């Protein structure tokens, strides 16, 4: 009996896409599957025919051979996989169609499940402002999982090795039939690994990893700031059974400083000056992260005046440009005055009192504004 054209069997054209072929097979397989036809021999034969057509047309090499030679390409022990009992079973073919829905894509076509990479870790590192600005190499201790040395991370006792799982045959997944559908699930025997350790290592009990405090040397580049992260590749948790390790991220946290406040690459500080220096001018010493520098204070300087020292801030870890140091002067009121000192201040005030607007323009302007405010309320 001559066979029907495979394209005709599936009801598709010869230029049909792979998606169209799968869609046609899905529809016909559901229609003629033995579970739905309840022993109807004619329908079973039709299902065999549909499945054979799908196995040929869904394979690029077989389809090319069929397009060139027809059914003859698979005769005489050729590549044909026709028949209900030959080639892949219904569950495999149907599973390819529904694999994305039921999670079957994890193992691929006959492949084993992938090893799980170790977890990434984060280590919070507290730094002083000086350490962050200048950079430093520090040693840290990180509690983590490391690869077991006696078994070299395999989990199997030295001299032995893990064996292919007899339940899933190394795929890491098993297929369960639920009526018309074939559902893929993680293998319960090997937990998706594809292998089973029959003689586990006594040090790690078959896990391939052990807990350990790992000591690492971390180079802190100059200019790091709070929130910056340094990645140490492969220094995270070791993967299970020899899988690659994750990464370690060292996150910087710069502690508050007694003198300076950092804002990106600029530094800010307050510098107290005496009443006399503010009035007459002078020169003072101000701190920087590199030592003391001289700052000239002009006469009649008011409290809150900001002075910029260029290039005395922080060198950026990214752009390598250097910020500035901003010094805010605060006039300090004299305290613990002696009687003579207090008398001198009163004499000064008396001499200045007749020309307040000249010597204290801000004070005069403020009270003039207050007087106008109340006058406006009365009118």
Number of neighbours of residue 113 by Cβ within 10 angstroms:
21
Q: What does the pLDDT look like over 85-143, one tens digit per residue?
A: 333 444 444 444 443 333 344 444 344 445 678 888 899 999 999 999 888 899 999 88
Q: Does residue 111 sit within a domain? A: no
**Residue 372: its pLDDT value, please?**
61
Range of the domain at 307: 261-332
Residue 188 lies in a domain: no
Of all residues in the chain, the percent with pLDDT exceeding 70 is 79
| CA separation, residue 233 to residues 208, 224, 298 (Å) | 20, 19, 54
Structural domain includes residue 105: no
Q: Which of 254, 275, 295 delimits the end of a domain?
A: 254
Q: Are strands 325-332 and 266-274 parallel, antiparallel or unpaired?
A: parallel
Q: Is the pTM of this model over 0.95?
A: no
pLDDT of 12-57, one tens digit each?
A: 998 888 888 888 888 888 888 776 767 778 888 888 888 888 988 9
73 and 28 within one domain: yes
pLDDT of 359 reads 55
Cα 370 from chain centroid (whole Å)? 58
In the DSSP assignment, the letter for residue 154 is S
Asked whether residue 185 is assigned to any structural domain, the reply reads no
Residues 138 and 216 in one domain: yes
pLDDT value of position 156: 86
Q: What integer best gives the mean pLDDT of the chain? A: 78
35 with 71, same domain: the answer is yes
**Across 105-119, 180-194, 203-217, 305-319, least confident range:** 105-119
**For the residues of 101-143, what is the DSSP string, one character each?**
HHTGGGTTTTPPPPPPPPPPEEEEEEE-HHHHHH-EEEEEEEE
Q: In terms of domains, do 248 and 231 share one?
A: yes
CATH code, domain carrying 280: 2.60.260.20
Q: Which residue has the higher pLDDT, 176 or 46?
A: 46
Tell whether 136 and 246 lie within a shared domain: yes
- Whether residues 363 and 295 share a domain: the answer is no
Higher-scoring residue by pLDDT: 14, 68: 14
| DSSP line for 322-370 | B--EEEEEEEEPP-S--HHHHHHHHHHHHHHHTTHHHH-HHHHHHHHHH
| CA–CA dist 194, 308 (Å, integer) | 67
Q: Is residue 110 part of a domain?
A: no
**% the chain with pLDDT above 90:** 9
- What pLDDT, on the 0 to 100 scale, is given for residue 64? 82
Instruction: Please check the confidence at residue 309 and state whether its pLDDT lies above 70.
Output: yes
Tell me: do 204 and 80 sit in the same domain: no
pLDDT at 338 over 50: yes
The CATH number given to whatever domain includes residue 19 is 1.10.287.110
The average pLDDT across 156-185 equals: 78
pLDDT value of position 2: 65
Give mean pLDDT, residues 144-149.
86
Pick the closest to residue 185 from 174, 201, 170 (CA basis): 174
Last residue of a domain, one of 217, 239, 254: 254
Residue 102 maps to a domain: no
Helix (H) or strand (E) holding 282: strand 282-288
Indicate if 239 and 274 belong to the same structural domain.
Answer: no
CA pair distance 309, 51, nearest whole angstrom: 82
Average pLDDT over residues 371-378: 61
In a domain, 190, yes or no: no
Count the domains in the chain: 4
State whether 320 and 366 are in the same domain. Answer: no
Q: Does some domain include residue 55? A: yes
> 361 versus 172: which is more confidently predicted?
172
Are 235 and 326 members of one domain?
no
Q: Residue 103's pLDDT is what?
A: 38
| Statement to judge: residues 53 and 144 lie in one domain | no
214 in the same domain as 129: yes
């Amino acid at each position: 009996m001559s066979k029907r054209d495979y394209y005709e069997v599936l009801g598709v054209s010869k230029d049909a896409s792979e998606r169209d072929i799968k869609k046609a097979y899905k529809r016909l397989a559901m229609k003629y599957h033995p579970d739905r036809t309840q022993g109807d021999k004619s329908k079973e034969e039709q299902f065999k025919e549909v499945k054979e057509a799908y196995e040929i047309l869904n394979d690029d090499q077989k389809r090319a051979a069929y397009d060139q030679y027809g059914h003859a390409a698979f005769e005489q022990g050729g590549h044909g996989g026709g028949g209900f009992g030959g080639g892949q079973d219904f569950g495999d073919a149907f599973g390819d169609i529904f694999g994305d829905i039921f999670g079957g894509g994890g193992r691929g076509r006959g492949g084993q499940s992938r090893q799980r990479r170790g977890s990434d870790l984060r280590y919070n590192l507290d730094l002083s402002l000086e350490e962050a600005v200048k950079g430093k190499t520090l040693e840290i201790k990180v509690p983590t999982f490391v690869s077991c040395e006696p078994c070299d991370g395999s989990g199997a006792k030295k001299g032995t090795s893990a064996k292919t799982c007899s339940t899933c045959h190394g795929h890491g997944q098993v297929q369960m039939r639920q009526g018309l559908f074939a559902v893929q699930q993680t293998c319960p025997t090997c937990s998706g690994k594809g292998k089973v350790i029959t003689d586990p290592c006594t040090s790690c009990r078959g896990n391939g990893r052990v807990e350990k405090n790992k000591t690492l040397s971390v180079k802190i580049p100059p200019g790091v700031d709070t929130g910056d992260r340094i990645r140490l590749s492969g220094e995270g948790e070791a993967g299970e059974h020899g899988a690659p390790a994750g990464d370690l991220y060292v996150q910087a946290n710069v502690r508050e400083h007694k003198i300076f406040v950092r804002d990106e690459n600029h530094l800010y500080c307050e510098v107290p000056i005496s009443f006399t220096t503010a009035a007459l001018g002078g020169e003072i010493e101000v701190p920087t992260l590199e030592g003391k520098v001289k700052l000239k204070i002009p006469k009649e300087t008011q409290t809150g005046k900001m002075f910029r020292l260029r290039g005395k801030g922080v060198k950026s870890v990214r752009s390598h440009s250097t910020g500035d140091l901003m010094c805010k002067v605060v006039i300090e009121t004299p305290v613990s005055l002696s009687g003579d000192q207090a008398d001198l201040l009163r004499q000064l005030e008396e001499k200045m009192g007749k020309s307040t607007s000249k010597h204290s323009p801000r004070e005069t302007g403020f009270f003039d504004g207050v007087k106008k405010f109340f006058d406006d309320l009365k009118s």
